[in-house]
Homo-oligomer: A and B are copies of this chain.
Amino acid sequence: MALIVQKYGGSSVGTIDRIRNVARRLIETRNAGNRVVAVVSAMSGITDKLIGMAHEVMDNPPERELDMLMATGEQQSIALLCMAITEMGYKARSFTGRQAGIFTYGSHTRGRIRSIDASAVTKALEDGCICVCAGFQGVNNEGSIQTLGRGGSDLSAIALASAVKADLCQIYTDVDGVYTCDPRVVKDARKIPVISYDEMLEMASSGSKVMQARSVEFAKKFGVVFEVRNSMNNNPGTIVQEETSAMESLVIRGVSIERNQARVTVSDITAPVAYTAIILSALAEAEINVDMIVANTAHDGRARQSFTMNMNDLGAAQAALKKLLPQFGEGAKLETEAGLAKLSVVGVGMRSNPGVAATLFRSLADAGIATGMIATSEIRITTTVEAADIEQAARVVHEAFNLDKAQA
């Protein structure tokens, strides 16, 4: 008898009928001989409605109270889902974050999971219940309710799966799994049957937002195997797990793209030595997430440093850096370029398969697509291209690495 954790997002429990549908899926899983723990989000739209009420009261509501308010969304879904399961003749028991033993720390509205005491959930499983836990929430040392920020319910599910020692954790969403590329862009894109944590992380960080990176990181840290599946069908999804040696046989797992990128360059820097620290601190202070960082020095000794960021942050970045220019010596300049996109190829196979970069840039060059900044990790190569070129770029790279063929 396996123990399975299933997570359902807000759209999966968005109406009473959909809640019944989830109840049926949980019962099917149970009737297949498993013990079942569900983790659910608030009914879609509820969280936004609650935040709207809060903003009707004040512009910047205190975050502790915002958490208190938002947590009611999941509390309602778990109660309604338990009722639906009961109506179908099965035992169910709901758990708020606190009742599920999810202890948190950090800031309100973006808490982190400190530990889980799953004893109450385990006991209810032993009593034959389908356990239904509120995602997205926990309780901190002071006994205050904390929510976990974006993607928090995925994190709750993976953390609970780890705590109850689940055999499998299924993350139900509105797509069939992780694809070799965005199917809206590359029509030959295929669902990836198995992917490693690191590949999943690199896909996420380079634009394929099936899940937040921190949930994948948590799963990796605690060795939780999970599967991304579609709540509207019974198709097998994508299993995310530790890397295996078999995974290296494939050079590239997928191509991920991200639009709305901008580049900022500070050039002709002659002083001081710590200019990188100064620039990055100023951007961090302005709460700008910098992505790619490329730096080099010309033969005349003048340094040049470029960053990519989301286009929405470009104005703030310009403002923050303009003030600093005088510190960088006479003639230091600030250049910006909007209208960019990023393309990444990801795969653990590139560690043992030389020539990935050559194949990537050859395919783009053959298609007449100019590349800009380049950044690499051990299992990812990223390049910027003009925004207008990104779809064609994705298609030629996808084909160059034979991603339209079946994977192992």
Contacts and interface: CB of A to CB of B under 8 A. Distances in A.
Given A62-B86, A69-B80, A99-B143, A56 B94 contact: no
Given A66-B79, A94-B68, A99-B143, A16 B56 contact: yes
B78 A75 contact: no
B99 A84 contact: no
A82 B99 contact: no
Contacts of A56: 16
Contacts of A20: 57
Contacts of A68: 75, 78-79, 82, 94, 96
B69 A54 contact: no
A75 B76 contact: no
Contacts of A83: 54, 57-58, 61-62, 65-66
Contacts of A113: none
A69 B79 CA distance: 6
A338 to B, nearest CB: 38
A72 B65 contact: no
A331 B69 CA distance: 64
Interface string A70-101: 01100110111011101100001110101100
A193 to B, nearest CB: 36
Contacts of A61: 83, 86
A204 interface: no
A53 interface: yes
A185 interface: no
A50 interface: yes
Nearest to A57: B83
Given A69-B76, A75-B72, A19 B87 contact: no
Contact of A16 (B53, B65, B87): B53
19 contacts: A16-B56, A57-B83, A58-B86, A61-B86, A62-B86, A64-B93, A65-B79, A65-B82, A65-B83, A65-B94, A66-B79, A66-B83, A68-B78, A68-B94, A68-B96, A69-B76, A72-B72, A72-B75, A99-B143
Interface of A: 16, 19-20, 50, 53-54, 56-58, 61-62, 64-66, 68-69, 71-72, 75-76, 78-80, 82-84, 86-87, 92-94, 96, 98-99, 120, 143-145
Given A16-B53, A65-B83, A72-B76, 6 more contacts: A57-B83, A57-B84, A65-B82, A65-B94, A66-B83, A71-B75
